[in-house]
Structures are given as C-alpha cells and as structure tokens.
Structure 1
C-alpha cells in the first residue's frame, strides 16, 4: 500500500538562524535568488519569497548565535527548495558558479540536486524533479533512487541562452527538512 499524506497537510516556510542580516539578505537574494517579502527590524527577521506573494524562508538574525562544528550535533542538515524544471536548475547552477560558490551535487534518478551552505553554515539543497512518469519502482513498489553525479554539462545546456532573474515564481516552498548531524547555528 502506498503511503499518502492527508490532503490538508501543508509545509510552511522554513525558519533559520543567521548571525548577520545584511550578509544573509545579500546571499539569499543575489546568490540563491529569493526576493524580500517583508522585514521586521525590531524582531531582526526577514521573510523571503520567490513569487513575491508566498513566504518560503524566514531569516532570524542574532549576532550571538554561534556556528557549531560541522556534524557535531543533531538538528537541521539542510532545507530543500524545488525549482520547477531542469532549465531553472541550470540557471541556478550558472549563478552559483558566477559567485564562485562551492557546491555538492547528486543525481537521485527522480531528481537532480545541488547542495551548498549559506554564510552561517545552514545547508541548502536546490533541486528539480524529473517527470514523475519516468520514476522507476522496485519489486516492492518503492521508488528507485541513488546518488550519482549530476550531468553538469546537460544542466548548463538546458539553461543556455536564458537569463538569470532569481528563483522562478513557480518555485515551491522548501519541500523537505532533512534532520541529521549538522554544523549550523543553534
């Protein structure tokens, strides 16, 4: 039997801790491609969006947050942002490269993903799903997944000639929060 989420289930915006609001706003807008939706100076928070309407990421700044050694405690490993298609992921890759951001990557058969950290060590996955009709299942009916290298040249080709304008409006809310060992702020 296939597990299904209740139809009323929603995933809201992810909230992360940062140490410097200006630095993080620059990073999340220029490098990742979010747009500022609102900012509360008194509360030291900022709400980011892709479409100008729906909050996707909340930044909470406090200079006293401390970055813990990577993989030293349990907690947030990364949050994931789903872009609508391979062309969009290719544009993200081009922009990350133009900013000389170190990335990891993984072809999971059902999706292609880029992995990076923000200036405070918070993990980010930006990915694009492959069409669902191409997803394979094993003999138990489970989706077949792996972590193979991404076809970087193919991603770059998919976005060739297109202009970077930040994350597309159809970017979904962070779709998953992966818990594990982390090195981000607490």
Structure 2
C-alpha cells in the first residue's frame, strides 16, 4: 500500500454533473435561484459556475428515468458562498423565486435547503470562522443541527442577484446503501477523515475541513445504482497535482477497483460501492 492518504489534505470538491430531462428549466433554476453563471451551452449540455470556475454540468437525457425509491444516489449538492451577506442574498432569491424547504445552523455553518425542478437536493451555505467550529476530544469536528435564525440571515443580505466569484461546491452528500461500505471506500481506501459519525450518517473530509462528503442511510436506499437516472451522473475530487492523481490511481489498483482514464481530461474515474461515478482530476 502507499504511505499516507492518497487524497491529500488540500483536496476539495470540483464539479458535479447531473443527468436531467428538462435542460432549460434546470438552467434557469441554477442561474436565477442559486445564482450561478452559464459558462457554456450546447443543445444538450450546459456548464454553470462562477466567472472563475465551472461547478455544475447539466447533461440532458430526455429518456432518463426517475430514481427508484430504494436506489442510492444524490442527497444534495452543497454550494458554499463566502459570507453571511451572500447567504442572505440567496435567501432573498429563494423566497422571491422558489421554495425554501429547510434551514439549519450546523455549528460549523449556516445552511439553506431546497429542491431543484427535478427533485435533486440543493444546499446553499456559508462557513462560520474555523475558530468557532466545535471539536471533539480527538480534534475531529462536531457537526450538529439546530434551527437557523432566518430573520438574522435575511437582515444580512447584500441583495446580490448572483453568487459571488468565490462560490464553490463545498461538499456533496450521498444516499448510500451501506455506511460500512461507504466508510471503507471513502475513508480506508481513499483516506478521507471521518469528522462526525452518527448512527445513520458519516461526514468525511480531506484535511481539517468539516466535510467534503456526507453519506447517509436516512431514507433506506438499499440498492446500488443499476442504470443512469435523473440525478447525479458523477462528481469529482479536485486534486492539487498529477502526483496526487497517480497516488489515487495506485491505491485503487491495490484495492482491486477498476479505474477508467478520462477521455480528453487529465484524470481518472471509479465507481463507488453504490455504482456512483467518482472522478479525480488536477486543478
């Protein structure tokens, strides 16, 4: 085995790709409500993000079936904005143009929740200062949930119609069929650190972030992905250099995972225990 975690501490989430049936409605939602910029657009694909980075790829497949009730897949994509003022502006857009389905203070962050036009979960959040993040005795980070004071968030709004350039995908949260299998793959094989463990959820991170990946079994999704459906097509870890990509490739080979080289891109892909495609690319 290679020494140290193959996914280095400086890793972050890159892009997320969704299979969609109504491309125009999805573009409008992520542009007008989440506040992303349309970077490229063809007849069947749209890439959205900020002026500096691509964050979301929408791939139209009009025949894509809905996800089955017991099938693993996406819980939510979490867009991280840099300030509470930007979160307040997102709240304005949600109230004006969409439906807010939840809002929580997670001790480390403040988060707003909704669902996109094809029922994919969406989170928009900002991180509290790291000095305020509560820690356990072993220095892992304690994530929790209490009600969010929405009036305070609304009062902080800067009124922006778009997400700031510093917006990123802070984490991806998956519904999995087995927490032990997810922990073995993402934790033991890839080297992500379990920051918070609950009876039916895990929150894992590269380095000292509160989490880059959440996995849960809250809705009893007992079956792996058997065919591409509406929802997540793939998501990616953004690695600092080719050395890190090669380290991940070696670890996956050592643990008998089938690795695919990405066509036209400097990276690799692998299926997780539920058949969800995970990519690893250099920044």
Task: Sort the TM-score into its range (normalised by shorter chain).
Answer: 0.7 to 0.9
Question: Which residue, out of 26, 29, 33, partners 2:28?
Answer: 26
SS at 1:175's partner residue?
strand
Deviations, residues 95-152 of structure 1 (Å, cap 9, x unaligned): 1001141321211000011111110111111110001111121223222221111110
Cα distance change on mapping 1:102 and 1:136 into 2, 3 Å: closer
State yes or no: 1:168 paired with 2:127.
Answer: no
Question: Does the CA-based 8 Å contact 2:12-2:170 persist in structure 1?
Answer: no
Question: What pairs up with 1:29-68 in 2 under 5 angstroms?
Answer: 29-41=31-43, 44-50=44-50, 52-68=51-67
CA distance 1:83–1:149, shift in 2 (3 Å): same
Partner deviation per Cα, 1:37-81 (whole Å, 9 max, x = no partner): 00122xx1110012x231010001111112235x53111111111
What's the RMSD between the two structures over aligned residues? 2.2
Bigger Rg, structure 1 or 2: 2
Q: Aligned partners of 1:40, 1:147: CA distance in 2, in Å?
A: 40
Q: Could you state the TM-score of these two structures normalised by the residue count of structure 2?
A: 0.58
**Residue segments in structure 1 that go unaligned for 5+ positions in a row:** none
Using the TM superposition, give the Cα deviation of residue 13 of structure 1 relative to its aligned residue in structure 2, in angstroms.
0.8
Q: Which has the higher contact order (CA 8 A, sep 6+)?
A: 1
Q: Distance in 2 between matches of 1:28 and 1:17?
A: 14
- Say if 1:86 and 1:158, in contact at 8 Å, map to a contact too: yes
Q: How does 1:105-184 map to 2 (within 5 A)?
A: 105-159=103-157, 162-172=158-168, 174-180=169-175
2: CA distance, partners of 1:116 / 1:10: 23
CA distance in 2, matches of 1:98, 1:80: 20
Q: 1:17 aligns with which of 16, 19, 23?
A: 19
In the TM superposition, what is the alpha-carbon distance from 1:10 to its structure 2 partner?
A: 4.4
Q: 1:138 to 1:7 in 2, by over 3 A?
A: closer
The corresponding residue for 2:206 is none
Q: Which runs of 5+ in 2 are unaligned?
A: 177-218, 222-228, 232-283
Over 3 Å counting, the alpha-carbon distance change for 1:105 and 1:158 in structure 2 is same
Distance change >3 Å, CA 131–CA 10, structure 1 → 2: closer
How much has 1:4 moved relative to structure 2? 10
CA contact (8 A) 2:33 2:98 kept: no
Distance 1:11 1:74 in 2: 20
Find the residue that maps to 1:73 and give its secondary structure.
Answer: coil
> Is 1:67–1:121's contact at 8 Å kept on the other side of the alignment?
no
The alignment covers a number of residue pairs equal to 177
